[in-house]
Structure 1
Amino acid sequence: MTEEQNVIFDDWRTGKKYEVSVFSGIGKRESQQDCAYVAANDSSVFAVLCDGMGGMNGGQIASHTAVEAFLEHYQYKSSEPEWMKQAVLNTDDYIYRIRDEEGKLLRAGTTLVAVTLNKSELKWVSVGDSRLYVYRQGELIQATTDHSYFAQIRSQHEDGELTDEEYLNLRREGDGLLSFIGMGGIRMMDFNDKPVQLMAGDTLLICSDGLWKTLQADQLQEILNNCESVDTVTQEMNRRIGLLDRKDQDNYTYILIKVMEE
Structure 2
Amino acid sequence: MRVGAVTDRGQLRPNNEDGYRVRGSLAAVADGMGGHQAGEVASSVALDVLFAHPLDGVAPGEALRAGVREANRRVHALSLARPEYAGMGTTLTAARLVGGRWWIAHVGDSRAYLFRRGDLRQVTRDHSVVAELLALGQITAEEARAHPQRNLLTRALGLEADVEVDLYSLPAVAGDRLLLCTDGLTGVVQDDVVREILVREDPPDVQARRLAGKAHDRGAPDNVTVVIVSLDADSSPDAP
- Would you call these one fold, judging by a TM-score over 0.5? yes
For 1:210 and 1:113, the matched residues in 2 are separated by 14
Verify: 1:182 aligned to 2:158, yes or no: yes
Q: Gaps spanning 5+ residues in structure 1: where?
A: 1-17
Question: 3-state DSSP class of the match of 1:66?
Answer: helix
Question: 3-state DSSP class of the match of 2:28?
Answer: strand
Structure 2 equivalent of residue 31 of structure 1: 15
Structure 1 equivalent of residue 4 of structure 2: 21
Verify: 1:97 aligned to 2:90, yes or no: no
Match of 2:196 among 222, 228, 231: 222
Using CA pairs below 8 Å that are at least 6 residues apart, which structure has the higher relative contact order?
Answer: 2
Structure 2 equivalent of residue 106 of structure 1: 86
Question: 3-state DSSP class of the match of 2:136?
Answer: helix
Question: 3-state DSSP class of the match of 2:207?
Answer: helix
CA deviation profile, 1:142-192 (whole Å, cap 9, x unmatched): 0101000000011011xxxx488xx99xx5455410000001145543202
Where do residues 101-180 of structure 1 align in structure 2 (5 Å cutoff)?
Answer: 103=83, 106-157=86-137, 162=138, 171-180=147-156
For 1:147 and 1:190, the matched residues in 2 are separated by 10
Verify: 1:250 aligned to 2:234, yes or no: no
Q: Tell me how far 1:199 sits from its aligned partner.
A: 1.2
Code of the residue aligned with 2:56 in structure 1: it is: S
TM-score when normalising by structure 2:
0.86
Aligned-pair RMSD on alpha carbons? 2.3
* Residues 38 and 84, structure 2, Cα contact 8 Å, conserved in 1: no
For 1:220 and 1:231, the matched residues in 2 are separated by 14
Segments ≥4 residues shifted beyond 6 Å: none
* Residues 69 and 163, structure 2, Cα contact 8 Å, conserved in 1: no
Note closer, same or farther for the CA distance 1:176–1:188 as it changes in structure 2 (3 Å cut): farther
Specify the structure having the higher radius of gyration (Cα): 1
For 2:102 and 2:86, the matched residues in 1 are separated by 34
Q: Gaps spanning 5+ residues in structure 2: where?
A: none
Q: Tell me how far 1:228 sits from its aligned partner.
A: 2.8
Q: Tell me how far 1:53 sits from its aligned partner.
A: 0.3
For 2:16 and 2:85, the matched residues in 1 are separated by 21
Q: Tell me how far 1:254 sits from its aligned partner.
A: 0.8
CA deviation profile, 1:95-119 (whole Å, cap 9, x unmatched): 1121488657621000000111125
Question: 3-state DSSP class of the match of 1:98?
Answer: helix
Question: 3-state DSSP class of the match of 2:87?
Answer: coil
Code of the residue aligned with 1:59 in structure 2: it is: G
TM-score when normalising by structure 1:
0.79
Note closer, same or farther for the CA distance 1:228–1:62 as it changes in structure 2 (3 Å cut): same
Match of 1:207 among 143, 163, 181: 181
CA deviation profile, 1:22-78 (whole Å, cap 9, x unmatched): 1111102111101111013xxxx11121110001111001000000111111xx243
For 1:172 and 1:50, the matched residues in 2 are separated by 22
Note closer, same or farther for the CA distance 1:172–1:50 as it changes in structure 2 (3 Å cut): closer
For 1:86 and 1:239, the matched residues in 2 are separated by 34
Question: 3-state DSSP class of the match of 1:21?
Answer: strand
